[in-house]
Amino acid sequence: MKQWKITAVACLEGFSLCVTWEQGRESLVNLEPHIRAFKAFAPLRNPAEFRQARVGEWGWHLEWPCGVDIAGDSLRRLALEQVTHMMTPAMIKEWRQGLGFSLTQAANILGLSRRMVAYYESGEKEIPKYVALACMGVSAEMRAHS
């Protein structure tokens, strides 16, 4: 099993983190649901304590002065679970319009029907993880070729 080594962490609004991995990639992780739900994370309910997150020895976990820690593998899993909720209807519409795509053009490049893209933009259907990832990939390709 691959372990995810952490090289840096930044505390964001609320109880969210931006974790930088050894491979240079970043993940956004919202820990608030876990901080609120689990007694073990109770000390992190204090925003001043939460903001003291630091990379643990060897980079395999994050730790806080209060003694709370969380493994890199757990952070990576949470980040992947949360990515589906990272693309909202407004975000997919902004993505499409920002690239100058019509609904039909966006549908064609994503391999979807025009109607499905319209459903995602209106919020009628939840945007699946693979669509959010495809949008990120299209954006990266467009940047690389511009």
Q: pLDDT tens digits for 106-118?
A: 999 999 999 999 9
Structural domain contains residue 1: no
Judging by beta carbons within 10 Å of its beta carbon (0-12, 13-18, 19+), is residue 132 exposed, middle or buried? buried
Last residue of a domain, one of 54, 82, 110: 82
Residues 16 and 71 in one domain: yes
**Confidence at residue 85, expressed as pLDDT on a 0 to 100 scale:** 60
Residues 62 and 17 in one domain: yes
The per-residue pLDDT of the chain, averaged, comes to 90
Tokens of 120: 């995602």
Residues 102 and 117 in one domain: yes
**Confidence at residue 35, expressed as pLDDT on a 0 to 100 scale:** 95
**Confidence at residue 86, expressed as pLDDT on a 0 to 100 scale:** 64
Instruction: Write the DSSP assignment of 24-70 as a string of letters.
Output: S-EEEEE-HHHHHH-GGGGGGGSHHHHTT-EEPGGGSEEE-TTS-EE
**Confidence at residue 90, expressed as pLDDT on a 0 to 100 scale:** 86
Residues 122 and 77 in one domain: no
Structural domain contains residue 98: yes
pLDDT digits (tens, 9 = 90+) for 47-104: 999 999 999 999 999 999 999 999 999 998 888 777 656 688 888 999 999 999 999 9
On whether the CB atoms of residues 121 and 92 are closer than 8 A, the answer is yes
Domain around 26: 6-82
pLDDT digits (tens, 9 = 90+) for 117-141: 999 999 888 888 789 889 989 998 8
128's CB contacts (< 8 A; 6+ apart) are: 84
- The CATH number of residue 99's host domain is 1.10.260.40
Mean pLDDT of 140-146: 85
Structural domain contains residue 41: yes
Residues 96 and 52 in one domain: no
Residues 74 and 24 in one domain: yes
Q: Find the length of the chain.
A: 146
Nearest to 69 by CA among 42, 32, 46, 41: 41
